Amino acid sequence: MIVSTAKTDDLPQLLELVAEYQSENEEHEAQSDERNSAYLTEVLGNDRFGIIFIGKTSSGAPVGFIHLALKPVTIEARHVPHVLDLFVKPNHREKGFGKLLFEHAVKWAKKHKHTRVECTVESMNMVAQYLFDHFHADSDGRIAYSIDLTKE
């Protein structure tokens, strides 16, 4: 899988991935392509909203994405990367693609001098918890993970 920063040219593939991601969620309705397009265009056009990385096969087929928002943390007077979404197409799961997307996000955060990456995971999402446990993330009982990027 090739991971890169999503650009406006990736919008059609991102729309495909986001539609599939939304259709898997039982708690929320899938959004229209128009709404998703407007949202993704806004995120891709303004780095203050964070960054999206897209994973593709060597032939260019979309496999998954990870969206990091830059969450303001007033007490620290900084923005902290927070994983909003991590999605891998069902037929590509359990092959390490989620791990590759997350590793790419961690490398990006380190390169930009962030000291940690955070993620909040639903308590029933054992797959996500396993992934963050793999990265030795700490949980404070709320299933909120924070990875200290200053440790190796």
pTM attached to this predicted model:
0.81
Tally of domains within the chain: 1
Q: Which two structure tokens, joined as six digits, stand for 94?
A: 């359990």
Kindly state the tokens that stand for 118. 């955070």
Q: Cα–Cα distance between 34 and 37 in angstroms, integer?
A: 5
Segments forming the whole domain that contains residue 100: 2-148
Distance, CA of 121 to CA of 21 (rounded, Å): 16
Over residues 112-127, mean pLDDT:
75
Q: What is the pLDDT of residue 36?
A: 97
| CA-CA-CA-CA dihedral for 50, 134, 23, 90, to nearest 10 | 120
In this predicted structure, the answer to whether residue 140 has a pLDDT above a threshold of 60 is: no
pLDDT tens-digit profile of 96-106? 999 899 999 99
3-state helix, strand, coil in the chain (%, to 5): 40, 30, 30
The tens digit of pLDDT for each residue in 29-64 reads 899 999 999 999 999 999 888 899 999 999 999 999
The single residue listed with the structure tokens 């991971």 is 3
Statement: residue 23 has pLDDT above 60: yes
Query: Higher confidence at residue 144 or residue 145?
Result: 145
Q: Over the stretch 65-105, which tens digit does the pLDDT of each residue have? A: 999 999 999 999 999 999 999 999 999 988 999 989 999 99
pLDDT category at 110 given cuts 50, 70, 90 is very high
- Please enumerate in sequence order all residues whose Cβ is within 8 A of that of 139, keeping only pairs 6 or more positions apart, or say none: 132, 145
CA distance 4 to 1: 10
Whether 42 and 92 have beta carbons less than 8 Å apart is answered as no
pLDDT of residue 133: 67
More confident residue, 113 or 141: 113
- The CATH code of the domain that includes 71 is 3.40.630.30
The reported pLDDT for the residue numbered 135 is 59
